[in-house]
Structure 1
Amino acid sequence: MARGGRGGQGLARVAVVVRAGAAPLGWLGVCAAGVGVLVPGLTGRPVGVLAGAALFVATAAVVAVSRRRRYTALARGAARAGRNDVLQDRAVSVRVWRRGHRWWLLLAFAAALGSAFAVPAAGGLLLAGAGAGLRLKAAWLGRLERAADALLWVRVDWLDGRGGRPAGTAVRAWRSTGIAAGDAAPGGARRRTAALVRH
């Protein structure tokens, strides 16, 4: 959904969009690494696993800290969401992201499997590191939200067609709501309370 009624905008949670790729990347990476470790490869299994472990840590760190300055600036400048704005459900935001990235995820999984013939498990652990980095970035966003006592949202029509890049060049500003708005907790995880409050 791109627009709400009476001039309102459809808004997706920033942390949910960031977090949406964490699980598929993590699981695909673990599967690719598990299959890849069965292949001797050119470097041998021990070298491949050690290289993969280093790639996991490095990738997770890079993904977790990338564009933090841009995220922080957008968070500081977030304007209050309007009464007519429509908050997109967490499940919808996740589904849009995963549907839009499904072919990219499959290609990345295939590449990780193929790389095992050269460096066993390394490609899979790189993918898993990317998933871990996204989860760490979402957790960092959750800390920003708790510190500001406000949840951060991005206009759906400013996201690209795949539902990603909440801090991309098309995004001019974020919006904010109270901490109880929507159905996702700070950081984008599923809210555990049964009663959900709009903003």
Structure 2
Amino acid sequence: MARAVRGARGGQGLARVAVVVRAGAAPLWWAGVFAAGIGVLPEGVTGRRIGVLAGAALFVVGAAVVALTRRRRYTALLRGAARAGKHDVLQDRAVTVRNWRRGHRWWLLAAWAVALGSAFAMPAAGGMLLAGTGTGLWLKAAWLGRRERAEEQLVWLRVDWLDGRGGGPVGKAVKAYRGTGVAAGDAAPGGTRRRTAALV
């Protein structure tokens, strides 16, 4: 789990919102691809053809739901973002991704197991749904990136607000975002890897 980080003079440890959103995209995508690939082998209850067709529909629905969910909450927090203080500590992209994946590893494993097990009822469908949720996270991060570019501001949240239940980037614990210039940190708008890191 992420730990609170405080600067030497009372600053807060901050993680990029878009990086937190993107952190689960690749694990969910690859888990879904593997589950679908293995899950297409059994005939299942419905048969492979129906399972794959249903899986394709679930992929699209899952991606759309994840990409669009809670956009109003994100938008409200983006609009109210206060400027980050000079003593705030900007967490590296790799650290944010690693912390998120460590904190969710058992949930990811359980989701993969459920997707794989569902293949005996409907081949490949569960895996394709899982891959769709990963795609939805990529789409949501890309949307955040467009907002960051348009407003020329990267958005961050306190690391300690990511701890505990419902500790996502728009969880109940999140009271406000903080903003920096677009050159801050080592992640570009949307949370992608930046080739060269810059200071605030």
Q: Which bin holds the TM-score, normalised by the shorter protein?
A: over 0.9
Tell me how far apart the structure 1 counterparts of residues 169 and 115 of structure 2 sit (CA, whole Å): 26
Specify the alignment match of 2:51 in structure 1. Answer: 48
Alpha carbons of structure 1 residues 197 and 162: separation in structure 2 relative to 1, 3 Å: farther
Paired residue secondary structure (1:183): strand
Given the alignment of the two structures, is residue 150 of structure 1 paired with residue 153 of structure 2, yes or no?
yes
Whether the 8 Å CA contact 1:99–1:162 is kept in 2: the answer is: no
Structure 2 CA distance for aligned equivalents of residues 164 and 20 of structure 1:
14
Q: Spell out, residue by residue over 1:139-180, the C-alpha distance to the aligned partner (whole angstroms, 9 max, x if none).
A: 000000000001000001111248950111110000000000
2:10 aligned with 1:7, yes or no?
yes
Cross-structure match for 1:198? 199
1:91 aligned to 70, 94, 100, which one?
Answer: 94
2:37 to 30, 34, 46: 34
Instruction: Report whether the alignment pairs 1:107 with 2:133.
Output: no
Uncovered stretches (5+) of structure 1, i.e. residues with no partner: none
Q: Distance in 2 between matches of 1:53 and 1:160?
A: 34
Q: Normalised by the size of structure 2, how large is the TM-score? A: 0.96
State the partner residue of 1:125: 128
> How far, CA to CA, are the matches of 2:17 and 2:166 in structure 1?
11
Query: What SS is found at the alignment partner of 1:120?
Result: coil
> Out of 137, 142, 159, which is 1:139 matched to?
142
- Any unmatched runs of 5+ in structure 2? none
Q: How large is the Cα RMSD of the aligned pairs?
A: 1.2
Question: Percent identity, aligned pairs only?
Answer: 76
| TM-score, normalising length: structure 1 | 0.97
Aligned to 2:65: 62
CA contact (8 A) 2:161 2:167 kept: no
Rounded to whole Å, the distance in 2 between the matches of 1:178 and 1:160 is 26
5 Å-filtered alignment, 1:15-34, equals 15-34=18-37
**What SS is found at the alignment partner of 1:12?**
strand
